[in-house]
Amino acid sequence: MSKTTSIPHGGRLVDLTVSPDLLPEMIQEAEQLPVIRISDFTRSDVEMIGIGAFSPLNGFMLEKDYLRVLKEMRLDNSLIWSLPVTLPITTEQAKALASVPKVALVGEDDGIIYATMSIKEMYAYDAMQEAQAVFQTTDEDHPGVKRLLAQGNVYVAGPITLLQRKIDPTFADLDRTPKELRELFQEKGYATVVGFQTRNPIHRAHEYIQKTALETVDALLLHPLIGATKADDIPADVRIKSYRVLLENYYPKNRTVLSSFPASMRYAGPREAIFHALIRKNYGCTHFIVGRDHAGVGSYYGTYDAQRIFDQFDKTELGILPLFFENSFYCTKCDGMASEKTCPHDDEARITLSGTKVRAILRSGEKPSPKFSRPEVAQILVEGLHQN
């Protein structure tokens, strides 16, 4: 039986979950603690920290880690880490928590206690400085900047203990922690696994890229993000349904794994590409696909900036191999999907359809051409969008 050659970031997979026999007592204790109410975005971060997806983090960042991440994309101990993972509170909350050692982290929408946190420090931060460093812009139309400017202006930091998770029953069967995915890869004998991150439906261009990568490794992990995204992104339940039908009909079942990714989108482009790669390393991947404008939004980032950022880091230190792909398209002369590297024909023969255009076509009730989207997938998307 082969074992994945992927080592968790920092050398050890963090696990901050609580055993079932201790859970009732710990929830009872947490009910007596002062409360910080958290958004769905932050709840997702709590979950990702707790299950080890954000290894080596064991909680929300101290100021020394936060500042070095902004400046150098490294933690204070010099490990590569490209995005801040922080818990914002208001100045008034910070004053009220000044002498509080421990708090309960409670969902603002559902009142559920998701975790407890030991408070190590609280610090003010410069939102504009963070926005420029992380998103390369301070434009409030950018969804990440908009979220940043709307939140509290103090960060509270410290280790957490994860008590409960929010798992959507629609795709609970696809929920696997990093530990569980690693065990699955070992059970199936996969030594090399390529991860594919997506918040969009998979169209023929994605399929072309994924299957090209699959030629070089033992298995493909389709890891669709199901956390918070932009309002105009296609809903997770619709996307998951389309992924299921696609894998059922067009992918080798013995070499493809579909698993949900409970993170929220930050829309940080290049920095988020590094972030997504490191997280997939924690899930057991040895390779990670980076396409055009990874984790981008609008025109804030260059088409291949998310690939170029990897040049700043030694591949050995990263511990996961990025696979770069150019824009794919349908070529009428090649009569199939192709890219700049494989197609000799000019633009007149190339038909490219962006995710934005696909969404517009779907919302109009039409179906994209089979050249762009498998018929079964298109049908699910049209029906799903008109139900939502």
Q: How far apart are CA 71 and CA 316, in angstroms?
A: 22
CB 204 within 8 A of CB 298: no
Q: How far apart are CA 264 and CA 319, in angstroms?
A: 23
SS3 224: strand
Q: State the catalytic residues.
A: 199-200
Amino acid (1-letter code) at residue 29: E
φ and ψ at residue 221, rounded to 5 degrees: -100, 110
Q: How far apart are CA 233 and CA 210, in angstroms?
A: 21
| b/e burial code for range 294-318 (CB count within 10 A of at least 16 → b) | bbbbeebbeebbbbebbeebeeeeb
φ and ψ at residue 357, rounded to 5 degrees: -65, -40
| b/e burial code for range 67-82 (CB count within 10 A of at least 16 → b) | bbbbeebebeeeebbb
Q: Does the N-terminal peptide bond of residue 178 adopt cis geometry, omega within 30 degrees of 0?
A: no
SS3 20: coil
Taking the CB of residue 232, how many other CB atoms lie within 10 A of it? 8
